[in-house]
C-alpha cells in the first residue's frame, strides 16, 4: 500500500473499523492478520470461548506464531470460573478500541459469536444483573423439569423470548427466567427498550463463508490437530478445577466428549466423532445467523484478493 493511502486511512480511523465474522475454522484469524498488516491494525477478539484462558487449544485461540507480531486483544483474558456476558465483552472491546485508535491504528474485530457482533454495532438493552442465588435456582429447575417444560414455564411470564428460543437453548432460557425472577419484568420488555453502548464508528463488515464441504473438512482436520497438540490434557486440567458445570466454558465444543474419554466412558475415536459432529452443527448455525443477520458488505469464500483489499479501503474511505 502506498504512503498516501496509509495516511488517508489514518485520517479515517476515528470513523471506521473492520469487522470480520465467520463460522469456526473459516480462516478468520489469518484474514484478520492480513488486513492488520495492510491497514496498520490491531485485532480484537469477539469469540466468547476465546475470551477464557483455560482452553487455548480446544477453542483454537491464535498462537503467537499465528499473530505474526500483530497486537491481539481480549484473548485468554478471563478465568474459566467467570461467567462472561455480552455487556462485559462490549465494555472490554470499547476500551481496547479506544486504546488502538489512540495509537493511530485500525481496530479489527473478529469472531463468530453473533450476540457480540450485533452488540458492537447496535448496542444492548440495559438489563439488570441476576444474583447468583437466583441463577442457581433457575439452573436447578431446568435440570429437574427439562427444557420443554422450562420453556413452557417461561412462556407464562415472557412469551416473547420463550417463542424465540428452542427447548435445548439452556443458557438463554435460564437467563430469561433469571431476569424475570430477579426483577418481575420480562427479558423481552427490557430488550424492547432503547439499546446503548454500541462501539463508536461505522464497521466495514466482512463475512467468511467457505463452501460447506470445505469448511466441514477443515473442522474435522483441525480437531485431529487439537488432539495432537494436547487438547485432552487441557480438558483434564479444566475438569480437575471442579468448576460449576453450568459455566459457559464447561460447554465449549469438545469438552463433554473429551471428559467422557478421561472418565473411561468413551473411546478417543468416539469422542472425536462427536466433537467433530457438534462443531459442524455449530458452524451451520453460525452460517445461518450470518446470512440472516450480519449484512456483510464483502463476503469471501476464498482467500482475500488484492481487488477486495481495495474494496475494503473504499468502504472505509
- CA 42 – CA 63 distance, rounded (Å): 15
- Give the pLDDT of residue 15: 57
- CA 204 – CA 45 distance, rounded (Å): 16
User: How many domains does the chain fold into?
Assistant: 2
- CA 236 – CA 230 distance, rounded (Å): 10
- Give the pLDDT of residue 195: 87
- Give the pLDDT of residue 301: 80
Give the domain CATH number at 144: 1.10.20.140
Q: Which helix (H) or strand (E) holds 183?
A: helix 170-183
Q: Are 89 and 116 in contact (CB under 8 A)?
A: yes
290-309 tens-digit pLDDT: 999 999 998 888 665 666 66
Cell digits of residue 69: 507480531
160: left (phi over 0), alpha (psi -120 to 50) or beta: alpha
By C-alpha distance, which of 155, 156, 183 is closest to 167? 155
- Give the pLDDT of residue 317: 62
- Give the pLDDT of residue 276: 98
Q: Are residues 224 and 107 in the same domain?
A: yes
Low-confidence ranges of the chain (pLDDT < 50): 1-14
- CA 16 – CA 201 distance, rounded (Å): 5
Give the domain CATH number at 290: 3.40.50.300
Q: Are residues 146 and 104 in the same domain?
A: no
Q: Are residues 208 and 185 in the same domain?
A: no
Q: Are residues 200 and 255 in the same domain?
A: yes
Q: Are residues 184 and 265 in the same domain?
A: no
- Give the pLDDT of residue 308: 67
Q: Which domain holds residue 152?
A: 132-192
Q: Which long-range contacts (CB under 8 A, 24 or more apart) does 65-69 make?
A: 66/29, 66/30, 66/33, 67/33, 67/43, 68/33, 68/37
Q: Are residues 296 and 268 in the same domain?
A: yes
- Give the pLDDT of residue 168: 85
Listed residues 157, 192, 227: the one ending a domain: 192
Cα-to-chain-centroid distance, residue 102: 25
- Give the pLDDT of residue 7: 47
Laid out side by side, the sheet with 16-21 consists of 72-73, 41-45, 106-111, 16-21, 202-208, 298-300
Q: Are 208 and 30 in contact (CB under 8 A)?
A: no
- Give the pLDDT of residue 306: 63
- CA 71 – CA 42 distance, rounded (Å): 5
By C-alpha distance, which of 205, 166, 224, 203 is closest to 22? 205
- CA 109 – CA 97 distance, rounded (Å): 9
Q: Are residues 240 and 312 in the same domain?
A: yes
- CA 55 – CA 116 distance, rounded (Å): 20
201-232 tens-digit pLDDT: 999 999 999 999 999 999 999 999 999 999 99
Q: Are residues 145 and 293 in the same domain?
A: no
Q: Are residues 111 and 257 in the same domain?
A: yes
Listed residues 192, 210, 244: the one ending a domain: 192
Q: Are 75 and 50 in contact (CB under 8 A)?
A: yes
Amino acid at each position: 500500500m502506498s504512503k498516501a493511502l496509509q495516511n488517508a486511512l489514518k485520517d479515517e480511523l476515528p470513523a471506521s473499523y473492520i469487522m470480520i465474522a465467520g463460522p469456526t475454522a473459516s480462516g478468520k484469524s489469518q484474514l484478520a492478520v492480513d488486513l492488520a498488516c495492510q491497514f496498520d491494525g490491531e485485532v480484537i477478539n469477539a469469540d466468547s470461548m476465546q475470551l477464557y484462558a483455560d482452553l487455548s487449544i480446544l477453542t483454537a485461540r491464535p498462537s503467537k506464531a499465528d499473530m505474526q507480531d500483530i497486537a491481539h486483544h481480549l484473548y485468554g483474558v478471563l478465568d474459566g470460573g467467570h461467567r462472561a456476558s455480552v455487556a462485559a465483552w462490549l465494555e472490554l472491546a470499547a476500551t481496547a478500541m479506544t486504546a488502538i485508535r489512540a495509537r493511530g491504528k485500525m481496530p479489527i474485530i473478529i469472531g463468530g459469536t453473533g450476540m457480540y457482533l450485533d452488540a458492537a454495532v447496535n448496542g444492548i438493552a440495559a438489563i439488570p444483573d441476576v444474583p447468583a442465588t437466583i441463577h442457581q435456582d433457575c439452573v436447578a429447575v431446568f435440570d429437574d423439569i427439562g427444557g420443554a417444560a422450562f420453556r413452557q414455564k417461561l412462556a407464562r411470564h415472557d412469551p416473547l423470548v420463550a417463542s424465540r428460543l428452542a427447548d435445548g437453548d439452556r443458557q438463554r432460557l435460564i437467563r430469561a427466567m433469571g431476569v424475570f425472577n430477579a426483577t418481575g419484568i420480562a427479558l423481552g420488555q427490557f430488550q424492547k427498550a432503547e439499546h446503548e453502548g454500541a462501539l463508536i464508528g461505522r464497521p466495514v463488515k466482512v463475512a467468511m463463508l467457505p463452501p460447506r464441504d470445505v469448511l466441514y473438512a477443515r473442522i474435522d482436520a483441525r480437531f485431529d490437530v487439537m488432539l495432537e497438540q494436547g487438547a485432552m490434557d487441557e480438558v483434564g486440567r479444566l475438569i480437575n478445577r471442579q468448576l460449576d458445570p453450568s459455566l459457559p466454558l464447561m460447554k465449549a465444543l469438545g469438552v463433554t466428549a473429551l471428559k467422557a474419554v478421561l472418565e473411561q466412558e468413551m473411546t478417543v475415536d468416539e469422542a472425536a466423532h462427536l466433537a467433530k459432529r457438534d462443531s459442524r452443527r455449530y458452524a451451520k448455525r453460525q452460517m445461518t445467523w450470518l446470512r440472516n443477520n450480519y449484512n456483510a458488505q464483502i463476503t469471501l469464500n476464498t482467500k482475500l484478493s488484492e481487488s477486495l483489499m481495495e474494496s475494503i479501503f473504499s468502504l472505509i474511505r
